[in-house]
Amino acid sequence: MTSPKITFIGAGSVVFTQGLLADLFAFPELRNAHISLHDIDAERLATAAAAALHIASRLGASPRVTAHLDRRESLVDADFVINIVQVGMGEATRMDFDVPARHGLRQTIGDTLGVGGIFRALRTFPLLKALGEDIAAVCPEAWLLNYTNPMAMNVQYLTQATGLTRVVGLCHSVYWTMRGLSDLLQVPYEEVTYRAAGVNHQAWVLRFEHDGADLYPRLDALIAEDEQLRRRVRVDMYRRLGYYPTETSEHSSEYVPWYLHHDGEIERLRLPVGAYLGIVEENVREYEKTREALAAGAPLHVEGTLEYAPQIIHSVVTGTPRTVYGNVPNHGLIDNLPAHGVVEVPCLVDALGVQPTHVGALPPQLAALNRAYLSMNDLVVRAAIEDDPRHIRHAAMADPATAAALPVESIWALCDDMVRAHADRLQPSLRAVLGT
């Protein structure tokens, strides 16, 4: 595979697309790749194509860049498919926050679990099914590298509903957590040895060492000295559970019942309710700045992102061995989590592709939280596969943060309102309003 074809689905997410392209073109072996861009928004697609050519020129790359409004056309003979779609964009995300807020439910990010995660998944599943059918038809040997959230639900749905097997979900949370912890302890990241595992956005740092010495005692001492560090959810969870979580405090607060329902905890731990709406607005501003710069012929300042997808592609193309963290069906990788669930584990990558590694059993307190997470995921996937709208409500009832905040009749009423809000994006069988 001397000149791979790499298809971007949702390439109109221009800022993220630019970072991935900068990473790809940083590898000499990938500078002549065929970059196939797909989006349903013609303006964003044209901006993405112009940005790709600009970045290639800056980095001395000579790719073939094609842009396609037709998804299947973009996928023909692809070797790798990078999915970065956000169905409904900012409008749907605002609904994910506004409707639950009217029912008294607080969210910070709303893209993984909870009511926001449930409906983000349900409106993404129809696209994933169609994407899977297209891949099976025109590029069945391609690796599908998924960045779209909710990661674990989407990967579970893809593997169960489409039959695709070359699917891995990619997230930067483990990498950036370890970079952050290394910086905090003033230890060079390149000299740190670590191992993490769990589920996406709720994995755990199981080993954290430097020169063979456990770094957790140094972290404990730092936390004991710094009151501000103790005012973070992930640090609070670490102190009580014994293992550091691999996602931010804003994310982590949504996956447990202990924080967002309590005003005092929101203040103590400085939780920004509704934070993701600000991120959505900033993404729009960044896209507009990119579009305007390209139109004016001004240079774009684009840096590499150190994301896993370009590293995986380089390893498969060149045979260079690497270890990345991937989200894959469990199938015995973590002994005390459900086999059908999608887990985040270290994966070896080389010319043979992505090969997940066996972790064993998690400490029981960590597995207990991860099982609750995976149980909710399973109900959402079952709702779509079994055409059962009741499972949407069952998933919300099983979600820890939602169950802590609302009585059961309010949960069902909220789900009805969310179905009404997103009805045209859901598969027809899930559009029923059930009442209580």
pLDDT of residue 363: 98
pLDDT of residue 1: 60
Summarize the confidence of residues 32-49 as an average pLDDT: 94
Query: Is 201 assigned a ligand-binding role in the annotation?
Result: yes
Q: What percent of the chain has pLDDT over 70?
A: 100
The whole-angstrom separation of Cα 339 and Cα 334 is 8
pLDDT of residue 279: 76
Instruction: Give the global pTM.
Output: 0.94
Distances from the Cα of 13 to the Cα of 83, 89, 138, 250, 283, angstroms: 10, 10, 24, 23, 9
The number of domains in the chain is 1
Q: What is the CATH number of the domain that holds 149?
A: 3.40.50.720
Q: pLDDT by residue (tens digit) across 155-176? A: 999 999 998 999 999 999 999 9
Residue 115 lies in a domain: yes
- How many residues in total does the chain contain? 436
pLDDT of residue 300: 72
Strands 64-68 and 34-38, by their bridges, are parallel
Q: pLDDT by residue (tens digit) across 238-271? A: 999 999 999 999 999 999 999 999 999 999 999 9
The whole-angstrom separation of Cα 352 and Cα 355 is 8
Active site amino acids: 172
Encoded tokens for 345: 């584990």
Label residues 37-61 b or e (16+ Cβ within 10 Å = b).
bbbeeeebbbbbbbbbbbbbeebeb
Q: pLDDT by residue (tens digit) across 277-300? A: 777 777 777 777 777 777 777 777
Query: Is 38 assigned a ligand-binding role in the annotation?
Result: no
Query: Is 149 assigned a ligand-binding role in the annotation?
Result: yes
Residue 152 has φ and ψ, to the nearest 5°, of -65, -40
Q: pLDDT by residue (tens digit) across 347-379? A: 999 999 999 999 999 999 999 999 999 999 999
Is residue 350 a contact partner of residue 313, using CB atoms and an 8 Å limit? no
Is the confidence at residue 435, as pLDDT, over 90? no
Is residue 31 a contact partner of residue 317, using CB atoms and an 8 Å limit? no
Q: How confident is the model at residue 417 (pLDDT cuts 50, 70, 90)?
A: very high
Q: Which residue has the tokens 């060149």?
A: 318
* Side chain identity at residue 66, one-letter code: T
Residue 70 lies in a domain: yes
Q: How confident is the model at residue 33 (pLDDT cuts 50, 70, 90)?
A: very high
Residue 92: which domain range? 5-171+298-318
Residue 165 lies in a domain: yes
